[in-house]
Amino acid sequence: MYTVTKIMRKIYLLAMESVKMPEPGKLGSVINCLLILTLLASCSGKTSAEDMDKETQSVSSWVATANMVGDAWIRGAVPNKYAEQTLKRATEELQKGKNQIDKIKLSKDVSKHDKSVLLAIVLQLANKTEEISRAVAKKNHSEVQQKLGELAVEKRSLNKLRKVAGQTNE
């Protein structure tokens, strides 16, 4: 039986393959897999903490996608259009993740503070991803590199929050 972590690793490997060989069909497959995974996570009758963990995993996955694509674009391994479209999609999915987290009901497992902190981090991640997309559109390699560094800092904040909450499936 596959766990979410194993599925995420398989998706990550597929994404890495698509970064090496930027074929439009492969990108669509990876994005579809990520969307299906997000849908499956949101349709379950889990507790608030489990819902929060699933959304956090999805956010983490989209941030990894943005990072991989940005890095591949800097190396010249993917075309501009591919990078722009993928980063735009990542930004949209991060916004959707933020909206899903916002809908999670508070419980003894999920405090208002934890939810607020997570929402702020996800918003920052979405904003950084959008900034990377704009820098790619301007073909500004140094700005993309800088924004990837900033994205990494925000991702570390997300990881710290996950560790504090006991969500260490990465």
Separation of alpha carbons 131 and 9, rounded Å: 26
For the chain, give every domain's residue range.
Answer: 4-164
Please write the tens of the pLDDT for every residue from 32-56: 666 676 666 655 555 777 888 889 9
Weakly modelled stretches of the chain, pLDDT under 50? 22, 169-170
Amino acid identity at 11: I
Task: Please tell me the pTM assigned to this model.
Answer: 0.69
In this predicted structure, what is the pLDDT of residue 170? 45
DSSP state at residue 44: S
Q: What is the pLDDT of residue 113?
A: 85
Q: How far apart are the first and last CA of the chain?
A: 18
Determine the pLDDT at residue 98: 95
| CB distance 57 to 169 below 8 Å | yes
**What's the half-sphere exposure (Cβ side, CA atoms, 13 Å) at 63?**
30
What is the dihedral sign for C-alpha 114, 65, 17, 20?
negative
pLDDT of residue 114: 82
What pLDDT, on a 0 to 100 scale, did the predictor assign at position 2?
55
Distance CA 140, CA 105 (A): 41
Looking at residue 44, its pLDDT comes to: 52
Query: CA-CA distance, 113 to 127, in Å (whole number)?
Result: 21
The rounded distance, in Å, linking the Cα atoms of 136 and 76 is 11
| Burial (CB count <10 Å: 0-12, 13-18, 19+), residue 106 | exposed
The confidence score (pLDDT) of residue 70 equals: 97
Report yes or no: 63 and 158 within 8 Å, Cβ to Cβ. yes
DSSP 94-113: HHHHHHHHHHSPP-SSS-HH
Residues 6+ apart with CB under 8 A from 110: 48, 49, 52, 104
